[in-house]
Amino acid sequence: MPVAVIAGVGLTAFGRQPGLGVRDLAQAAAVAAVTDAGIPLDRVAAVVVGNATQGATEGQHGIRGQIALSGLGLSPGPVINVENACASGTTALHVALAYVLSGMADVVLAVGVEVMTQAPHPDLLAAFEGSWDVADREAALDRLADFSRGVPVPSDAVELPGRTVFMDVYAAFARDHMRRFGTTQRQFAAVSAKNHAHSMHNPYAQYRKAFSIDEVLCGKTVLWPLTVPMCSPISDGAAAVVVCSADLADPARAVRVLGTALGHGGGWDGVDPQRHVSHQTALRAYAEAGVDPRDVDVAEVHDATAVGEIQQVEHMGLVPYGDGGPAAERGVTTVGGRIPVNPSGGLESRGHPIGATGLAQVHELVTQLRGEAGARQVDGARIALAENSGGLVGLEEAAVAVTVLEAPSRRRS
Amino acid sequence: MPVAVIAGVGLTAFGRQPGLGVRDLAQAAAVAAVTDAGIPLDRVAAVVVGNATQGATEGQHGIRGQIALSGLGLSPGPVINVENACASGTTALHVALAYVLSGMADVVLAVGVEVMTQAPHPDLLAAFEGSWDVADREAALDRLADFSRGVPVPSDAVELPGRTVFMDVYAAFARDHMRRFGTTQRQFAAVSAKNHAHSMHNPYAQYRKAFSIDEVLCGKTVLWPLTVPMCSPISDGAAAVVVCSADLADPARAVRVLGTALGHGGGWDGVDPQRHVSHQTALRAYAEAGVDPRDVDVAEVHDATAVGEIQQVEHMGLVPYGDGGPAAERGVTTVGGRIPVNPSGGLESRGHPIGATGLAQVHELVTQLRGEAGARQVDGARIALAENSGGLVGLEEAAVAVTVLEAPSRRRS
């Protein structure tokens, strides 16, 4: 049975990239990844491409990946287009791993790409809303309203028009967390301030500007308790990862995938968080990896908003339930703290080009595990965790991906 | 290394199915497949779902498969949404095989589903046109016009309004084949008459009405030389396949996948058909399977129109280049002939619900290889081939899937 490793990673800058389309970004990330792996493009035996919005925004369906990568000089093997909403990138990685482990291909390129800033806004909203069950929207909104009960909203709180529906979802999740655990708006702000500080040192990040906790709190309100700096922006960008059998990779730079779980379902009944699909998927990934949450040295989690990070560090078992907010305030999740989370800046500050996000997390963690993360390096990181989710996670059917990675067996640094 | 087999297949009726949506059809096919496999639904470890049009027609993107299968009682494992235009179904099978062979899951359900008759027509057209390179449409149409040069069109030939752009593509391919090989309109009609006769015996088929060659020729012209009975219809339907490791399947009914190749590219330069992506992908599938085109006892190929079947039986090496038309006229590809093609009725007569088509081909071939095809049974079929393609095959980037199957090792009949 082959052993699969991540041999190379590639990333474009995230953010507003006028004039660059899906093809430009996807090809740039693909070339960067194979260059990093030291494997020629024509040696790639299969490609898996994740994208979430190009159907809705550009009318490009069908064979998006083939079209995005045409002219690049790939071998004539499989190109598989995958989608799992905001988890599309990690889903591409998952399929790439299956290919390599199956022996069906020895070198597989996973690419995630999204162009969002140049799309007509109504179409982009349609793409977002299409990642819910479109026939069940009213019921989902009713369940969201339930989450918001019992949390007083300041009488002067305004709402940002034109926001995506996911901001309403996260605002409801935030109020739910406040009611159950006493989490404060200041703690949400602490998460965001931390992530914005991290991405000061990330050359790929959309934002490289520090915000104090008070500055985050003073940001424009999107929907209480969320302010603009707490929310992931609209972004363009691409990320790519080369997965191959271990014998084809440089052992000093290859990162081993210890565990990878992709889950679906809902499970959040408002009572027992351990039944939540995120927690259940994490348990499967840890079991496969043979590690414990305490073994994790660094994590990238899906902070589409600050509350997302708090929920996920709890579901991943990195901090106890209810301690996500206080832990951020105490600096536990800051680089230099006990368990640094989102050293890249996360979705909030690195940016969130949907299909690219999961692979951008892997890019960051591979960089960390190789000891090449510069000023944002987590010292001595050996075990890393990525969590990437799509859909109304917990509330109805959704996709959750958890990946556990290990540092190169013969890391030089 | 596990050996992967097809343990079960399930299909809904194809055709116009008022009141039934993606969820209804997908779940019916899924239940039929696991029932056929004798494996409980909660034993399914991963699911791969292929669909092509629901984004454009219903605004359902993101996590289509999770939503289509919600409430069915699946285990919490991976649900992966794949797309490859008209090859989406076989792409789902391909990923399912990778999962089983990798050891990442021991029982995987591949589902293909499409609802097309109930969608607003303009959106359906958008879905079709979205499976080309949307930024390159004019160039593709120019290349198509080149194919049509030099073939006189009858002066009284009318054009059917509201046809999909793929009919223009196939009409150009037909004229190209006529010019190069002297293929006649009557030979295209022979293909269609044969397929409509086959599906008289297929209870799942959209059409179960015989057409003589003259009746096919007298059909309304879609775009010369294609008439309505030569073209696949708009259809609703779903198909599902259970792939598992051989030890979990009944050896009397399990069908082994000898070879499976998924290719991308174009390659049709108008000169050397052997460089065409379809032929190249077939060569890879045969090599993996360790069989020769002469070993194939029965085939299902992608006859989105009659000319598609002629092109593909040639690219698959089942008949020499240029003999596709004459072979159909001689009855070579009829059940009872040397190499029966599309015993199900093919896309032309069984129907073509896009995402389901590739898995419906597999359903037919598994039924044939088990000796359970009744009045359309190909006697003694041991080796079967399926070819399923998506996009502007040959002309620009496209997806081509070729699968070679073998009869159960201990078939009873």
pLDDT in tens, B45-96: 999 999 999 999 999 999 999 999 999 999 999 999 999 999 999 999 999 9
Any CB–CB contact under 8 A between B93 and chain A? no
DSSP annotation of A228 reads G
Instruction: Tell me the average pLDDT across A128-156.
Output: 84
d(CA A85, CA A401): 12
Mean pLDDT of B172-188: 96
Selection from B63, B35, B37 nearest residue B49 by Cα: B63
Alpha helices in B245-343 (DSSP H): 277-289, 306-315, 324-330
Is B341:B316 a contact under the CB 8 Å cutoff? Answer: no
The active-site residue out of B94, B177, B198, B352 is B352
Please give the C-alpha separations between residue A403 and each of A257, A282, A301, B74, B100, in angstroms, as whole numbers.
Answer: 7, 8, 10, 22, 19
Known catalytic residue: A352? Answer: yes
The pLDDT of residue A23 is above 90: yes
pLDDT digits (tens, 9 = 90+) for A336-369: 999 999 999 999 999 999 999 999 999 999 999 9
pTM: 0.97
Q: Quick one: pLDDT at residue A88?
A: 98
In this complex, do A80 and B61 lie within 8 Å of one another by their Cβ atoms? no
Amino acid residing at B36: D
Residue B144 pLDDT class (50, 70, 90 cuts): confident
Q: Please, what CATH class does the domain formed by B4-120+235-248 belong to? A: alpha beta
Q: Searching chain B, which residue's CA lies closest to the CA of residue A90?
A: B80
The reply to whether A86 belongs to the active site is yes
Residue range A189-198: mean pLDDT, rounded = 98
Given a contact cutoff of 8 angstroms between Cβ atoms, the answer to whether B227 and B219 are in contact is: yes
Q: Which sign, positive or negative, has the C-alpha torsion A73, A78, A84, A85?
A: positive
B85 touches chain A (CB under 8 A): yes
Across chain A, what does the average pLDDT equal?
Answer: 94
The domains of chain A are located at 4-120+236-248
CA separation for the pair A228, A173 (Å, rounded): 16
Please report, for residues A135, B265, B379, the alpha-carbon distance to residue B336 in angstroms, rounded to integers and kept in the order given: 48, 35, 8
**SS3 call for A366:** helix
Is the dihedral angle over the CA atoms B370, B372, B373, B377 positive or is it negative?
positive
Q: Tell if the CB–CB gap between B262 and A78 is shorter than 8 Å.
A: yes
| pLDDT for the residue numbered A127 | 82
For this complex, say whether ipTM is above 0.90: yes
Query: Which residue blocks in B200-273 are alpha helix, DSSP H?
Result: 213-218
With a cut of 80, say whether residue A327 has pLDDT above it.
yes
B95/A94 touch (CB, cutoff 8 Å), yes or no: no
Answer for the pair A257, A4: CB distance below 8 angstroms, yes or no.
yes
Of A46, A127, A135, the CB nearest to B61: A127
Residue A122 has pLDDT above 60, yes or no: yes
Whole-angstrom distance, CA of residue A72 vs CA of residue B382: 40
Contact in structure between B87 and B392 (CB atoms under 8 Å): no
Spatial distance between the Cα atoms of B151 and A135, rounded to a whole number of angstroms: 49
B20 contacts in chain A (CB < 8 Å): none
Q: pLDDT tens across A58-108, in order? A: 999 999 999 999 999 999 999 999 999 999 999 999 999 999 999 999 999
- Give which of B167, B140, B284, B300 is closest to B222, Cα–Cα: B167
B180 membership: H or E segment, kind and range: helix B165-181
pLDDT of A269 over the 90 cut: no
Q: What share of chain B has pLDDT > 90, as a percent?
A: 81
The pair of three-digit structure tokens given for residue A200, joined into one six-digit string? 């000061």
Q: For the domain with range A4-120+236-248, which CATH number is right: 3.40.50.2300, 3.40.47.10, 3.40.50.620, 3.40.50.300?
A: 3.40.47.10
> Which range has the worst mean pLDDT, A163-167, A275-279, B37-41, B321-325?
A163-167
Q: For residue A58, what is the nearest residue in chain B, using CA coordinates?
A: B134
**Which chain A residue has its CA at the smallest distance from B135's CA?**
A60
Q: Which of B44, B66, B277, B392 to mutate to test the interface with A (most CBs of A within 10 A)?
A: B66
A118 interfacial to chain B (CB closer than 8 Å): no
Contact of A64 with chain B, judged by CB distance below 8 Å, is answered with yes
Which tens digit of pLDDT belongs to each residue from B200-227? 999 999 999 999 999 999 999 999 999 9
- Give the distance from CA B409 to its chain's centroid: 25
What is the SS3 assignment for A409?
coil
Q: Tell the burial category of B203 from Cβ atoms under 10 Å away from its Cβ (0-12, 13-18, 19+).
A: exposed
Reported confidence tier of residue A411, pLDDT bands at 50, 70, 90? low
* pLDDT for A9 beyond 90: yes
Q: Are the C-beta atoms of A238 and A113 separated by less than 8 Å?
A: yes
Q: In the predicted model, what is the mean pLDDT of residues B303-326?
A: 98
Q: Which amino acid would we find at residue A69?
A: L
* Mean pLDDT computed over B280-305: 98
- The pLDDT of residue A1 is 61
Enumerate the residues of chain B whose CB falls inside 8 A of the CB of residue A94: 78, 80
Report the residue of B24, B74, B94, B102 to disrupt the A interface, i.e. the one with the largest count of A CBs within 10 Å.
Answer: B102
Q: Are A73 and A42 in contact (CB under 8 A)?
A: yes
Name the band, by pLDDT with cuts 50, 70 and 90, for residue B411: low
Task: Tell me the pLDDT band of B271, cut-offs 50, 70 and 90.
Answer: confident
**Contact between B250 and B7 (Cβ < 8 Å):** yes
The secondary structure of residue B335, as a DSSP letter, is: T
pLDDT at A378 exceeding the cut of 80 = yes
